[in-house]
Amino acid sequence: MSFIEGVDTRQRSRDATSVRRSALSVRYLAGGTFSGLYGLLVLAVLVAVAALSAVGVGLLLTGTASKVLRHWCDRERIRVGRALGRHVGSPYPGPAAGPDGARRRIADGTPVLRDLAAVLQRIVVGIPLGVVTILLPLVSLQALALPTYWWAMPDGKPAEQLFEITSWWLALASGLIGLAGLAAWSIGAPAVRSADAKLLELLLAPTRDQELRLRVRMEEQRRRSAVDLHSAELRRIERDLHDAAQNRLVAVSMFIGTAQRQLSTGTGDVATALAKAQDASRDALAEMRRIIRGVYPPMLAEEGLVPALGLLADRMQIPTRLRVDAPAPTPASVDAALYFSVAEALTNVAKHSNATACDIHLTWTEDDGEMRVITTVTDDGHGGAERSKGSGLAGIESRIGALGGTVAVASPPRGPTSVRMELPCES
Partner 1 sequence: MRVVIAEDDTLLREGLAALLSAEGIEVVAAHAHADRLYETIEEFDAGLAIVDVRMPPTYTDEGLRAAMRVRTARPGFPMLVLSAHVETKYAGDLLADGAGAVGYLLKERVGAVEDFLRTMDRVVGGETVLDSEVVTTLMRRGGNRSPLSALTARERDVLQLMAQGHRNGDIAAELQVSEAAIHKHIRSIFNKLGLLADDAGHRRVLAVLTYLREQ
Among 246, 278, 333, 347, binds partner 1 (CB under 8 A): 246
Q: Does 148 bind partner 1 (CB under 8 A)?
A: no
Among 164, 243, 325, 367, binds partner 1 (CB under 8 A): 243
Tell me the β-bridge partners of 360.
Answer: 322, 377
Among 94, 268, 327, 412, binds partner 1 (CB under 8 A): 268
Among 224, 242, 282, 387, binds partner 1 (CB under 8 A): 242
Cα separation, 237 vs 295, whole angstroms = 8
Give the neighbor-by-neighbor strand order of the sheet with 417-424: 320-325, 358-367, 370-379, 417-424, 406-410
Going from the C-alpha of 298 to that of each of 264, 286, 312, 365, the distances in angstroms are: 44, 14, 13, 27
Q: Does 318 bind partner 1 (CB under 8 A)?
A: no
Closest CB to partner 1 among 227 and 250? 250
Among 262, 354, 391, 398, binds partner 1 (CB under 8 A): 262
Q: Does 294 bind partner 1 (CB under 8 A)?
A: no
The interface with partner 1 within residues 220-239 (CB under 8 A) comprises 239
In the bound complex, what is the minimum distance in angstroms from residue 239's beta carbon to partner 1? 7
In the bound complex, what is the minimum distance in angstroms from residue 250's beta carbon to partner 1? 5
| Binding-site size, partner 1 (CB under 8 A) | 23
Closest CB to partner 1 among 284 and 312? 284
Q: Does 284 bind partner 1 (CB under 8 A)?
A: no
Closest CB to partner 1 among 247 and 406? 247
Cα separation, 294 vs 340, whole angstroms = 9
What is the three-class DSSP state of 281? helix
Q: How many CB atoms lie within 10 A of CB 335?
A: 21
DSSP element (H, E) containing 73: helix 62-84
Q: Does 261 bind partner 1 (CB under 8 A)?
A: yes
Tell me the β-bridge partners of 324.
Answer: 362
Taking alpha carbons only, the member of 112, 111, 139, 133 closest to residue 34 is 133
List all residues 6 or more positions away from 62 whose beta carbon is below 8 Å from its beta carbon. 49, 53, 102, 103, 106
Q: Does 249 bind partner 1 (CB under 8 A)?
A: yes
Region of 55-63, 70-78, 242-250, 349-357 interacting with partner 1 (CB under 8 A): 242-250
Closest CB to partner 1 among 46 and 280? 280
Cα separation, 42 vs 66, whole angstroms = 10
For binding to partner 1 (CB under 8 A), which residues are involved? 239, 242-243, 246-258, 260-262, 267-268, 276, 280
